């Protein structure tokens, strides 16, 4: 027993010296904390670090040290998510989004031209001169002491075009204008596609301007189509010649065509009140037929009121009172006064209705 104890005591100093040397080597390699550090700075036990934690290396920091690095120069930790773009922080729109380029006029025009109601209306207006020509050929315009455009319709192509324009300006040309402008927004609501257009996102003002511009363009095309077809057909049937004025006198063909062109432009301006009314109704209802029918009905009501002579000078405030002012151009000395007053009345009403449409649609809760 004494011999074993002495041998153990001899090994103890050697073992202690070896352990001290090992600890010093570990500290030099950076694998253990310096005994001079406070206790809370010591490394955590292995079971707290987790099984996937890689032990530190003697040649540098651990591989995932970047995740635990101190704050960078800007004060943002290295493990923080990247900063959002300046545009997002400022609440700006997405890159590349330009409201003015949404719903281009070309796209809207192609959509409307492909619709069946556009094709049907174009066919009706194109066939009307043929129907009138057949009626003149079958019947007899007659000259029973009353001279009018109808009695001179077969004198030349210009006379035939003026006659077609005169018989259609009061009511027939109202229908395509009311149809194109009253159906434009209400049809989108009826198809439940209006809210998807606004969510595209198409700004509401941009949507209305595109719809209104295309509707007015189609209305102008419809108004121009009728006299153009009538002039071509009349020239083929009755020849190219001067326009015979019903009250006496003639206008050479060139002057007559220019006068008819100005008359067509005036008819379009006079129909702006119908366009504005139909467009406003289109933004107020989801039923296209209601908007179109409302505009046509109110236009007819205006014609009825204009026929009431008891209203006196109040009729001058009705757009229908000036709808045939363009006929003053078909005479040796054209009169412009009636056309100027009629254009002013029509444009004023149209601006009011369009303003109401934009104001109401901007606040409208679109659910369809």
pLDDT of residue 19: 53
* Domain ranges within the chain, ordered by starting residue: 105-140+152-363
* Tens of pLDDT, residues 333-353: 888 989 999 999 999 999 999
Q: Is 24 exposed, middle or buried (0-12, 13-18, 19+ CB in 10 A)?
A: exposed
pLDDT of residue 123: 94
pTM (2 decimals)? Answer: 0.70
Nearest Cα residue to 330 out of 243, 235, 232: 243
* Tens of pLDDT, residues 236-247: 999 998 888 887
Q: Is 182 exposed, middle or buried (0-12, 13-18, 19+ CB in 10 A)?
A: buried
Which DSSP helix (H) or strand (E) runs through 132?
A: helix 116-138
pLDDT of residue 25: 53
Q: What residues in the chain have per-residue pLDDT under 70?
A: 1-97, 99-101, 140-147, 200, 367-368
């Amino acid at each position: 027993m004494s011999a074993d104890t002495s041998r153990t005591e001899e090994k103890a100093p050697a073992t202690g010296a070896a352990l001290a040397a090992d600890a010093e080597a570990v500290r030099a390699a950076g694998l253990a904390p310096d005994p001079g550090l406070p206790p809370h700075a010591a490394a955590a036990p292995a079971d707290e670090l987790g099984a996937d934690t890689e032990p530190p290396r003697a040649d540098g920091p651990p591989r995932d040290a970047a995740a635990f690095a101190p704050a960078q120069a800007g004060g943002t930790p290295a493990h923080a998510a990247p900063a959002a773009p300046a545009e997002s922080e400022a609440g700006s729109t997405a890159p590349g989004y330009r409201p003015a380029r949404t719903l281009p006029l070309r796209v809207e025009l192609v959509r409307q031209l492909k619709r069946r109601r556009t094709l049907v209306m174009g066919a009706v207006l194109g066939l009307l001169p043929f129907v009138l020509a057949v009626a003149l050929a079958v019947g007899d315009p007659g000259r029973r002491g009353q001279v009018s455009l109808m009695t001179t319709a077969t004198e030349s192509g210009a006379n035939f075009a003026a006659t077609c324009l005169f018989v259609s300006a009061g009511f027939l040309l109202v229908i395509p204008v009311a149809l194109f402008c009253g159906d434009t927004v209400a049809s989108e609501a009826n198809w439940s596609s209006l809210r998807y257009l606004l969510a595209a996102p198409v700004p509401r003002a941009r949507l209305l301007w595109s719809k209104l511009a295309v509707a007015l363009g189609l209305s102008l095309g419809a108004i121009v189509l009728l006299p153009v077809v009538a002039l071509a057909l009349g020239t083929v049937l009755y020849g190219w010649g001067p326009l015979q004025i019903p009250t006496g006198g003639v206008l050479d063909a060139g002057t007559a065509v220019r006068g008819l062109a100005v008359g067509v432009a005036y008819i379009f301006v006079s129909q702006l009140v119908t366009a504005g009314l139909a467009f406003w109704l289109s933004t107020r209802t989801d039923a296209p037929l209601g908007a179109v029918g409302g505009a046509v009905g109110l236009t007819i009501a205006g014609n009825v009121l204009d026929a009431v002579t008891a209203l006196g000078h109040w009729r001058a405030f009705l757009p229908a009172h000036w709808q045939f002012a363009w006929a003053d151009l078909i005479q040796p000395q054209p009169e412009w006064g009636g056309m100027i007053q009629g254009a002013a009345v029509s444009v004023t009403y149209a601006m009011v209705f369009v303003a109401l449409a934009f104001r109401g649609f901007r606040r409208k809760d679109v659910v369809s």
